[in-house]
A and B are shown apart, each in its own frame.
Chain A
C-alpha cells in the first residue's frame, strides 16, 4: 500500500488548455492549483475542531427516541404517563402532542412524518421522544412508554413490493414538491412505486433487430450504509421568536426550508448552523432529525440535543439497493446500437431523495458512450425498510456496475480488447450524451490510455486479472449558489458562503480560490460557512458541485469586490489623475501601488470600513446548460482469486481524477483514494441484510464491516487536468468518480482471473466460492 503524491501526468501538460480562451490557458493565480495544507488541519489534529455533539447551551436537555419493533403496524395507542412522571423527564412527545406542527416533510415527495403518525412503516421508525435532564434518565424513561401496535402485513423486497397483492405503505401519494431536477409525475402505476423515471430516445426495437451481439443480464448492487463516523446529531433552541438548529447537515439551506414549513416560520426566523461535520458522503444531505429535534425542544420549552447512535443512524438513512436488468445491442464492429434497461431501487419506507437517485441512475446507465437508442425505466420502490437516500455516486455505482460489466461481456463475445471496445463507443469531447444536454467536457479516451499505462494493461501476472472501467455522471445538481467576499480595511478577506465542510476540503479549496482571485495571501483569507443567518444561500453541498459552482460564485464575488475597489480608488485616490490600473492584490496609480486595504481606508477616510463583493450563480451564461458538468470515473484494478476460499485479493488500483483543473491537487487525489476504497467496501463486503420479518440483521458496526487498514491495496491516484470544465480555470467536480466503476472493475478483473462472472455485489467469499464451484461443474 503506497501512493505517489500529487502525480500529474507530464504528457498531459501539453493537453492543458488545448481549447478554450487565453484566460484559461494562463496558469491560475497562486495559491490556486497548489497542494497547500488543509485550512482545518490544526483544529483537527488538536481536538479543537467542534462538531455538533461538542456544543452545549445553558439549560440543554437530552433526548432519546422510542422506535418501532414492527416493520409495518398501526399505532393503536401510546401511554406516556409513567414516562412523563419519571424524575428528571422534561417532556415526552408523540405525534399527538404536536397539533401545531406540520408533521410531514420531504423535498421531492412530502411523505415523511417527523415522528410516526398513527402508523409505522419500518422497524426502527421513531414513535415517541423523551426529553430529560440527562441522557441516562431519558433512556430509563423510554422503557416506561407503553405502545400498542396492530401489526400489518409488510414487504421488505422491492420486487415483492411491486406484486399486485403487496401490502401498500402509503395509502395516498405524498405531496409532490416543486423540486427542480426531479420533474417526473408520481404516476402510481402501483401504489408502492415512489417514483418512476424514464430516459429514452431512438428506435430500440430497430437497434436490437440488427444487432450482431446482444448481452443481457441482471445485476444487483447492495443495500449499503455510508457510515459517516459522526452519527446524526442536532441541537435545537427556540429563542427570540425564532428557531436555531445546530446540525450535522450537508445542505443547511434545505434544512432551513423544511424547518420553516414544519413550524410555520418565515425563512428569516430559522437559523441552521453547521459546525464541523464528521463525514457525509451524501448521507447527511437534506433533512434528517432536525424537525424532530426542534419539535422536542418546542414541547420541552428548553434547548434539546438529539444525538443518534450509529445503530440509529443506520435506521435513519441508507443507500438505495438496486436490481438492474439490462440488455445491450452491439454491431459486429463493437459499436453500441442500443441499450434497454429496467432499474428497480429498494428505497425503503419514505421517498427522501430516492426519486432523484432513480432519475440519476437512469441518466447514468448509458455511461460515457454514444448510444443511438436507449430505453431506461427506473423505479424507486417503497418497502418496509429503513429509508434510502443520497449516497456518494447517487445511482451511478448501481448503474455503472451493470453497464460496465456488459462492456466487458460484449468485448469477450466480440473478440475485442475491452479498452478498444470502449474507445469505439466513447463520447467525443463536446458531444452531448442526450438531446439538450451539455456537450461532453472530457477526453475519456486519453484517461483510458493513462490508466492502461499505469496499470500495465495486458501484462497481468499469472493468476491475476485486470480491468479498467469508466463512468459518467451528470453532476453538479442545480447551479443555484451565492457567495460574499468581504475585504476589510487591513486588506484581509472574509469569505462567506453556504458550502459545508464535510471533510472534502471545501474550506481550503474555496479559500484558495478567494485568495487567488483577490491576490491576497492565503493566510489572510478566513472562511465562514454554513450558518443560514450569517452567510448567503447555497443550494447544497453534494453532487461534487462545490469547487465548480461555489468556485464560480466566489470568482464572481471577488470580481465584484475588485470592480468596486477600482472605482473607489479612482474616485478617492485619483479623482483627476491617471486611470487606475488593477494589479494583483490592489491597484496601480501612476507608479504607486495601493493594496486593497489602502483603497478601503482611503474611501472611508479613516482606518475603517470594508467592501462587500457579491457573486450569484443560476441557470444562465456558462451554467445555463444542464448538467453543469460531467463527473468522470476511470478506475483500473488488478486482482487475484483464491480458488479454495473464494477470497478476492485486490492488489492494485489506479484512479484517474479527470477534474479539469485541480485547485488543490493533494486534496483532489485524496478524494479519489477515499472514494475508491469506499467503493471497494461495497463491492467486496458491505451489505445491509433484512430478515423476512423486516428486522435489520446487521445494523451495527460489528456485523456491518467497513474497510480497514489491511483491506487497502496499492493505490495509484493520477490527476488529468485539461482545463475542460465549466468551473474556475477549467475545474470540474470530483469525489464520486473513483467510487462508481469499482464494482464493475473488480467483477471484470475476476472474470479474467478466474473465469467467473459476478453479477451480484458484494462479492463475498461465499458468492465467489459458489461461482467457482459452478464453473468447475460446467
Chain B
C-alpha cells in the first residue's frame, strides 16, 4: 500500500480454518480480499463480485456467506472456513470425494463455493432429497456441468455420512 495514503487501518482478529489470525487491514477490504491477498488462500474464487454467483462462498460461524461483498471486519471474532480447511491432514471429506467420483466440476471455478455451500447444508441436515439440494444451492452458479452431477455428489456425500 502506498505510504502517502492516510487510511485508518483497523484490527481484524478471527479464526480462519481453525487458526488465529490477527491483521491490520483497510476498512474497505472484503473478506475475499483478505483471504486471497493477505492470507494467500486463493482457493476462494471471485467471479460476479456482486453476490449473485456464489463462487466466493465461505462459511462464517458455519453459515455460507459471499466473501466478495462481506467486509472483512465483519468477520471479527468469528470463525471463517474456506475450501482449504475442508481436508484434514490430506484426507478429503466425503463431499470432496463425491465431487471427484461424480465429476461434479469441470473448470473448477465454482467448485470452492459450491463445496462450502454444500458443506453448510450437510452439516445442518443429514437426510436430503434432490429438492433440498437444489433449494440450498440455488445461489451458486455453475456454467460447465449442467448441475446434475453436483446434486448427485451432494446426495452421495449425505449417504456417506458427511
Query: Which A residues contact B (CB, under 8 angstroms)?
Result: 1-3, 5, 37-38, 40-51, 53-54, 87-88, 133-134, 136-137, 226-231, 276-281, 309-310, 502-505, 666-667, 670, 673-678, 700-702, 706-710, 712, 715
Contact = CB atoms under 8 A, between A and B. Distances in A.
Query: Interface residue tally of chain B, by bracket?
Result: 35 or more
Contacts of B151: 1-2, 709
B127 interface: no
Contact of B100 (A38, A227, A670, A678): A38
B87 interface: yes
Given A46-B43, A47-B82, A281-B143, A310 B48 contact: yes
Dominant SS among interface residues on chain B: loop
B50 interface: yes
Interface string B35-46: 010000111111
B10 to A, nearest CB: 15
Given A2-B148, A673-B148, A709 B134 contact: yes
Contacts of B130: 1-2
A667 B103 CA distance: 8
A54 B35 CA distance: 11
B73 to A, nearest CB: 16
Interface string B98-124: 011111011111111001000000000
A280 B144 CA distance: 9
A51 B148 contact: no
Interface of B: 1-2, 4-5, 26, 28, 36, 41-50, 52-53, 55, 82-84, 86-87, 92, 96, 99-103, 105-112, 115, 130, 133-135, 137-138, 140-152
A709 B110 CA distance: 13
7 contacts: A2-B152, A43-B108, A47-B83, A281-B143, A678-B143, A708-B138, A709-B133
Given A1-B148, A38-B100, A137-B2, A701 B105 contact: no
Contacts of A710: 134-135, 138
B45 A673 contact: no
A226 B5 CA distance: 39
Contacts of A136: 26, 28
Contacts of A281: 143
**Of A38, A137, A278, which is in contact with the most chain B CB atoms at under 10 Å from its CB?**
A278
A676 B146 contact: yes
B138 A229 contact: no
- Across the A-B interface, give the 7 residue pairs with the lowest CB-CB distance, nearest first: A47-B43, A503-B107, A278-B109, A503-B106, A88-B2, A44-B108, A677-B146
Contact of B111 (A45, A53, A310): A45
B47 A230 contact: yes
Given A2-B148, A503-B107, A227 B115 contact: no
B149 A709 contact: no
A670 B134 contact: no
B27 to A, nearest CB: 12
Contacts of A50: 42
Contacts of A45: 83, 86, 92, 96, 99-100, 105, 111, 115
Contact of A3 (B108, B135, B142, B148): B148
Contacts of A230: 45, 47, 107, 109
Given A47-B84, A709-B137, A229 B115 contact: no
A3 B148 CA distance: 7
Given A229-B143, A503-B107, 6 more contacts: A45-B111, A49-B108, A53-B42, A229-B107, A503-B105, A673-B145
A279 B107 CA distance: 5
A674 B4 CA distance: 49
Contact of A310 (B47, B103, B112, B148): B47
A502 B146 contact: no
A715 B96 contact: no
Contacts of B100: 37-38, 41-42, 45
Contact of A231 (B42, B47, B50, B147): B47
Contacts of B28: 136
A757 to B, nearest CB: 27
Contact of B146 (A279, A666, A667, A674): A674
Contact of A279 (B26, B82, B138, B143): B143
B5 A715 contact: no
A674 B145 contact: yes
Contacts of A51: 45, 109
B54 to A, nearest CB: 10
A280 B143 CA distance: 10
A505 B44 contact: no
A38 B145 contact: no
Contacts of A708: 138, 141, 147
A310 B53 CA distance: 11
A12 to B, nearest CB: 22
A756 B82 CA distance: 49
A46 B107 contact: no
Nearest to B96: A45
A54 B109 CA distance: 12
A666 B103 contact: yes
Contact of A701 (B5, B50, B137): B50
Contacts of B43: 46-48
A233 to B, nearest CB: 11
B136 to A, nearest CB: 9
A701 B52 CA distance: 7
B148 A42 contact: no
B34 to A, nearest CB: 14
Given A45-B99, A229-B55, A278 B45 contact: yes
B107 A277 contact: yes
B41, B42, B92, B151: residue with the most chain A Cβ atoms closer than 10 Å: B42
A49 B44 CA distance: 11
B106 A504 contact: yes
Contacts of A702: 50, 52
Nearest to B142: A229
A322 to B, nearest CB: 22
Nearest to A313: B47
A44 B87 CA distance: 12
A133 B146 contact: no
Contacts of A2: 130, 148, 151-152
B42 A47 contact: yes
A542 B40 CA distance: 33
A310 B141 CA distance: 14
A280 B102 CA distance: 21
A526 B48 CA distance: 33
A468 to B, nearest CB: 19
Contact of B143 (A43, A88, A228, A309): A228
A50 B36 CA distance: 12
